[in-house]
Amino acid sequence: MKKKVAFYTLGCKLNFSETSTIARDLTEEGFERVDFSENADMYVINTCSVTENADKRFKSIVKQAQKSNPNAFVAAIGCYAQLKPEELAAVDGVDLVLGATEKFKIADYVNDLSKNDFGQVHSCEIEEADFYVGSYAIGDRTRAFLKVQDGCDYKCTYCTIPLARGISRSDTLQNVLTNAAEISAKGIKEIVLTGVNIGDYGKGEFGNKKHEHTFLDLVKALDEVEGIHRLRISSIEPNLLKNETIDFVAQSNSFVPHFHIPLQSGSDAILKLMSRRYLTQLYIDRVNRIKEVMPHACIGVDVIVGFPGETEEHFLQTYNFLNELDISYLHVFTYSERDNTKAVELNGVVPKKVRNKRSKMLRGLSVKKRRAFYETQLGSKRTVLYEAENKEGYIHGFTENYVKVKAPWNPSMVNTLQEVNLTEIDDDGMVRCIEVESMASV
């Protein structure tokens, strides 16, 4: 009988793309993939270390696996596994910990699934993570996460990602296009580009530090791939989002009017403490350019509250900056101390109660911003890509500019593009719509 393997992924779209690729590799080695809630012979947990909560969740996920099968082999991979392998190996029930390079060779380590008395660690020095492994994830068969870049050469003072993933390096342009064509051939309508710092695409493409291609080259080439209906750029640094890219997206065949641009703080003083590579004026310029050429574009923002040295005045600068800016929603992160970062050495530690209060204020602002953006879209005609889940009698999907839409459940609409009129915002904050024309054959 085939051995069964289950996966649990913490963190970002990049982790999901890598989990899918590792799962496909193990399937080719003879494993059968099952849901994490099912009885399996091996459980693989792809870890994240961006936030403190992601670290803490690891133990509870191991316990969840042990409930399903107390004798199962448990492996930990991913960012936390690279940063603190011994800590993970010491967790009761963990048998194997694989670092940044070893995770892609997991099949070599799991010929014998016997439980270990102590977790075995196989991790490299992060300097050795200098090669690229391409990957993509297919979720509910409506969209896929396509990895195009890995690692980061930036030195933001709060971030452990360079320590967990290594230097900036890119997939070859040809391989990205091949993967995109494979995804399209599976009938998937939308591809989301993902990486650690995708605006740095091209660096390390052929194992050197040169930029053989730029992010704009990548965008232009993907726009020519046949069969892709939607291409979505995930998070991209404001200093790497060039006007030429914005202008190209505005008139492209496939790229949608949706950008997610990390800000982190609306205070120039805090941005400098974070060692970010821009100040607020550049961010304003990027938002203004997007809205100039794509007035209906959706713009998401990452922001960190409670960074060391952030006074009440600095926080209010951030709040007012975001309140006045023409953006659509926020992803709010409460600062948490990370080992081996420069930020932990800074003065002006913000009490956790204050951090939580500031986080709550910005989350409230995000609700207000999203509602305001949705209101600007009422009465317009948009195209919705519907997803597979039936939620209390409704089917949900997203417009090209990332408005979340609901309609009465109809299984024939799953993974189809439907042209609709956006009519009203429901009590749950989603937009109701009226179908104008089916594009199911598209």
pLDDT on residue 112: 84
Q: What is the pLDDT of residue 23?
A: 94
CATH number of the domain encompassing residue 102: 3.40.50.2300
Residue 124 has pLDDT above 70, yes or no: yes
CATH number of the domain enclosing 150? 3.30.750.210
Which letter does DSSP use for residue 71 in this model? T
Strands in 325-368 per DSSP E:
329-334
Hey, what amino acid is at 401? N
pLDDT at 425 exceeding the cut of 60: yes
> The domain spanning residue 417 has which CATH number?
2.40.50
| pLDDT of 439 higher than 60 | no
Tokens of 379: 């009465």
What residues make up the domain containing 418? 381-438
Give pLDDT tens digits for 279-307. 999 999 999 999 999 999 999 999 999 99
Residues 133 and 250 in one domain: yes
Domain count, the chain: 4
Model confidence at 415: pLDDT above 80: yes
Mean pLDDT of 82-102: 92
Q: What is each CA distance from 173 to 61, 148, 149, 201, 216, in whole angstroms?
A: 37, 9, 11, 9, 12
- Taking only the tens place, the pLDDT of each residue in 336-370 is 999 899 999 999 999 999 999 999 999 999 999 99
* Same domain, residue pair 135 and 117: no
Between CA 273 and CA 346 the distance in angstroms is 9
Give the pLDDT score at 125: 76
Residues 298 and 290: beta-carbon distance below 8 Å: no
Q: What band does 142 get if pLDDT is binned at 50, 70 and 90?
A: confident
CB-based contacts of 207, cutoff 8 Å, min separation 6:
130, 131
CA dist 369 and 4 (Å) reads 45
What's the average model confidence in pLDDT over 8-15?
A: 89
Q: Band of the pLDDT at 139, cuts 50, 70, 90?
A: low
**Greatest CA separation for the chain:** 64
Domain finish residue from 65, 98, 124: 124
For residue 71, with 0-12 CB atoms within 10 Å meaning exposed, 13-18 middle and 19 or more buried, which class applies? exposed
Give the separation between CA 210 and CA 220, rounded to whole angstroms: 20
User: Residue 441's pLDDT is what?
Assistant: 39
Same domain, yes or no: 288 and 303 = yes
**Boundary residue ending a domain (223, 256, 289):** 256
Letter for the amino acid at 69?
N
Alpha carbons 68 and 220: distance in angstroms, whole number: 47
Mean pLDDT of 194-210: 89
73-78 β-sheet, strand order: 32-34, 4-9, 42-47, 73-78, 96-98, 120-122
Average pLDDT over every residue of 407-426: 94
pLDDT tens digits, residue range 40-73?
A: 999 999 998 766 666 678 999 999 999 999 999 9
Percentage of the chain modeled with pLDDT above 90:
81
* Cα gap 432→36, rounded to integer Å: 34
In this structure, the answer to whether residues 385 and 372 fall within a common structural domain is no
- Residue with the two structure tokens 């923002």: 301
